[in-house]
Amino acid sequence: MGPFPHPARARWRSDRGARLLAQLLRAWLIWCLASAAMAASADELPAPARPQLAHITESAGGLTLEQVRQLPEDHWLPLPSPDGALGFVRQTHWFRADFEPVNTAGDFRLEIGYPFLDHVELSVRLGDDGAWKTFRMGDQLPFRARPYQHQHFVVPLRIEAGQSVRVFARVSTSSSMQLPLRLWQADAQRLANLEEMLFQGAYFGIVLGLLVYNLMLFFATGEKSFLAYVAWVASISLTMLTLKGLSFQYLWPDFPALNDRSLSALVGLSLASALDFHLRFLLAGGGHRRLATILRLVVLASLAMVVIGFLIPYFIAIQILLALIGVGATTALVLTGLRIREGFRPAIILGIAWMALHASALALILQRYGVMAQSFWIVNAPQVGSAIEMILASVALGIRVRDERRMRVRAQAHALEVQARAREQLEQQVQERTRDLAESNQRLATLSERDWLTGSYNRRYFDAAFSRAVETAREKGEWLSVAFIDADHFKRINDTLGHAAGDACLKSLARLLESHLLHSDDIAARFGGEEFCVLLPGASKDEALQFAERIRLAAESMRVAVDGRSISMTVSIGLSSRRPRDQECARAMLAAADSAVYDAKANGRNQVVWQDVAARSTDQLLADTAVTRSGAFS
């Protein structure tokens, strides 16, 4: 399946998902109304009694209940909070609680509203002369070992009118040390528990609706961000189920070891899936590599904690996870802020959702450390915050996918428009490109005909041009002149001043020759080394001699500046002129001009020498030129 399937099929799947979500929302509304009705009924029942707590830290040798009872009053430290929250401490603690005498006899429930205590020995005495009853509980024992089947630790009591209740509790745990004791009337506790279950039903109803709806959207669109969202919602809902003690009650009641370590693993999984979703949501097109790398490292570390959480004590695992949450949440918020500044609108909604969850999580952490008192909203803050975040994140994800779809549709429409214009202009573009290609080929041909150093024509081009000029002169009976120009003492310039100076002299000489050409069909070419050749179609002997003399005088007065130095140079020029009859005669002209150059050098350089082709045979000219080139002239 592609990222965007057939529109009709995607619309049908989306509508079906919307109908299912509507049904789930209606069911959730019924739950909310029932919860409100139960809350109204609960107002008619008495609130639970909360004792004033005091505590001591157990010494290394341990204490018995009898020893604790005999301790003087000044050994006990009062707790300002009725929740008995001490934070993460390793020592075993004894708590003492005294409840006021009840006014009406009946069934009561003594509840510890915190399901993560490892070992609890709860000793209860009714009245001043009653017998002590001890109840052993904790999440290290199977769930069925509890005296009352409840997600919290609950002890059923029958209390007569006027009886007081004294409680001693010996508590040891690897989680946060706290003892939120409440004494409920049985009916009020059942109603409060029902109200709590209705709240949990509402929350997990929202979660189920979001899971199904976004899973349907994933199947409809193929957008992987929806699948990442589903994984995140599933993991965080399992975490909330464990935080409320419901997973131990309903999922693994006979596996206390699994329950003891499952919370840290689920927190790590929730953090990893949340950050993975944020990465996919915010950086679908890439960018912000450093922040993305930090988040990916936190994701990997969180996934590692899923396994490590089962191997190390809970209090160590939770400290590591809190650090990872701090780094991951801060980085995600910074990344969200940057995307908002870049104009990515869905990031605004996601940022609000992210802050809602972490504000609620911070409230719970502060309560665990004893900074904030326990209340209904504090205890359920993570669920409220996560529900807000999941709903807003789902809305933001829908907006992002909708915007991307609109951009894709606009891009497709634009592509079709461009394609239509391209078809209309195809012939014109082909013609233009053909012309451009011809011009490019012409430029390449020109470059292949030029000398790489001086920019003058090269030997290959000169040979072809000379052959054409010979044919033209033969057909029209016109004159054709050839001049060889050789730089005097060029080897000395190279040896004393360097090759860079020699190259500069050659370039200057090439420019000088180009500037003195008489007609458009005159050609100056570098023949090899420091030697140039000029082809003068239609020029007689006298015209060629005048041209050569101008070149000689110009070269003599020329100064070449190299590295702050001024270099002077002269040239020797050999000329030959004739009305050519055939190509053999042309070869003789070249040989005569070449021989004349060496005559000029032999006669003292810086001069022009003309040589008649008819005065000597072609073979003799070629032989003399070869002998001269092997001499010491340079």
Q: Residue 283's pLDDT is what?
A: 82
Task: With cut-offs at 50, 70 and 90, classify the pLDDT of residue 481.
Answer: very high
Phi first, then psi, for residue 607 (nearest 5°) are -155, 165
Whether residue 42 has pLDDT greater than 50: no
Task: With cut-offs at 50, 70 and 90, classify the pLDDT of residue 339.
Answer: confident
Integer CA distances (angstroms), 211 to 17, 226, 229, in order: 10, 9, 8
Least confident of 27-31, 143-147, 192-196: 27-31
Give the span between the Cα atoms of 109 and 187, in whole angstroms.
Answer: 9
Task: With cut-offs at 50, 70 and 90, classify the pLDDT of residue 628.
Answer: very low
Give the span between the Cα atoms of 542 and 519, in whole angstroms.
Answer: 16
Among 23-27, 105-109, 408-412, name the most confident range. Answer: 105-109
Cβ neighbours of residue 62 closer than 8 Å, sequence gap 6 or more:
92
Q: Residue 219's pLDDT is what?
A: 85
Closest to 544 measured CA to CA, from 514, 515, 569, 574: 574
Integer CA distances (angstroms), 409 to 267, 345, 405, 414, 470, in order: 40, 19, 6, 8, 68
What are the pLDDT digits (tens) for 224-258?
878 888 888 888 888 888 888 888 888 888 888 88
Task: With cut-offs at 50, 70 and 90, classify the pLDDT of residue 632.
Answer: very low
Q: Residue 394's pLDDT is what?
A: 77
Instruction: Using CA atoms of 146, 147, 149, 150 in order, give the dihedral in degrees to the nearest 10.
Output: -80
Q: Give the full edge-to-edge strand order of the sheet including 119-126.
A: 77-78, 52-57, 93-99, 165-172, 119-126, 132-137
What are the pLDDT digits (tens) for 149-164?
988 999 999 999 889 8
Least confident of 33-47, 183-197, 399-413, 527-541: 33-47
Q: Residue 583's pLDDT is what?
A: 75
Q: Residue 446's pLDDT is what?
A: 64
* Mean pLDDT score, 506-533: 89
Among 169-173, 314-318, 627-631, name the most confident range. Answer: 169-173
* Mean pLDDT score, 512-529: 88
Least confident of 88-102, 164-178, 367-381, 465-479: 367-381
Return the residue matching tokens 């490292």. Answer: 297
Q: Do 336 and 354 meet the contact criterion of CB atoms below 8 Å apart? A: yes
Q: Residue 80's pLDDT is what?
A: 67
* Mean pLDDT score, 589-605: 90
Give the span between the Cα atoms of 528 and 511, in whole angstroms.
Answer: 16
Give the span between the Cα atoms of 78 and 95, in whole angstroms.
Answer: 10
Whether residue 168 has pLDDT greater than 90: yes
What are the pLDDT digits (tens) for 108-137?
999 998 888 989 999 999 988 889 999 999
Closest to 361 measured CA to CA, from 312, 412, 326: 326
Three-class SS string for 522-552?
A: CEEEEEECCEEEEEEECCCHHHHHHHHHHHH
Give the span between the Cα atoms of 485 and 382, in whole angstroms.
Answer: 95
Q: Residue 155's pLDDT is what?
A: 94
pTM of the model: 0.56
Q: Residue 63's pLDDT is what?
A: 87
Whether residue 619 has pLDDT greater than 80: no
Whether residue 358 has pLDDT greater than 70: no
What are the pLDDT digits (tens) for 45-66?
578 888 888 999 988 778 888 9
- Report percent pLDDT > 70 for the chain: 83
Q: Do 507 and 486 meet the contact criterion of CB atoms below 8 Å apart? A: no
Q: Do 392 and 350 meet the contact criterion of CB atoms below 8 Å apart? A: yes
Burial level of 386, CB count in 10 A (0-12/13-18/19+)? buried
Token pair for residue 22?
């509507």
Token pair for residue 588?
């003789």
Give the span between the Cα atoms of 324 and 306, in whole angstroms.
Answer: 13
* Mean pLDDT score, 188-195: 85
Whether residue 624 has pLDDT greater than 80: no
Token pair for residue 475?
């057909």
Phi first, then psi, for residue 427 (nearest 5°) are -65, -45
Whether residue 364 has pLDDT greater than 70: no
Token pair for residue 381?
């803050």
Least confident of 169-173, 213-217, 343-347, 370-374: 370-374
Task: With cut-offs at 50, 70 and 90, classify the pLDDT of residue 344.
Answer: confident
Token pair for residue 630?
């092997």
Closest to 203 measured CA to CA, from 267, 265, 246: 246
Query: Which amino acid, one-letter code, is at 558?
Result: M
Q: Residue 313's pLDDT is what?
A: 82
Phi first, then psi, for residue 570 (nearest 5°) are -130, 170
First to last CA, the chain: 79
The count of C-alpha atoms lying within 13 angstroms of the C-alpha of 380, restricted to the half-sphere facing its C-beta, is 16
Q: Which residue has the higher pLDDT, 276 or 86?
A: 276
Cβ neighbours of residue 410 closer than 8 Å, sequence gap 6 or more:
none
Q: Residue 3's pLDDT is what?
A: 42
Among 214-223, 322-331, 566-575, name the most confident range. Answer: 566-575
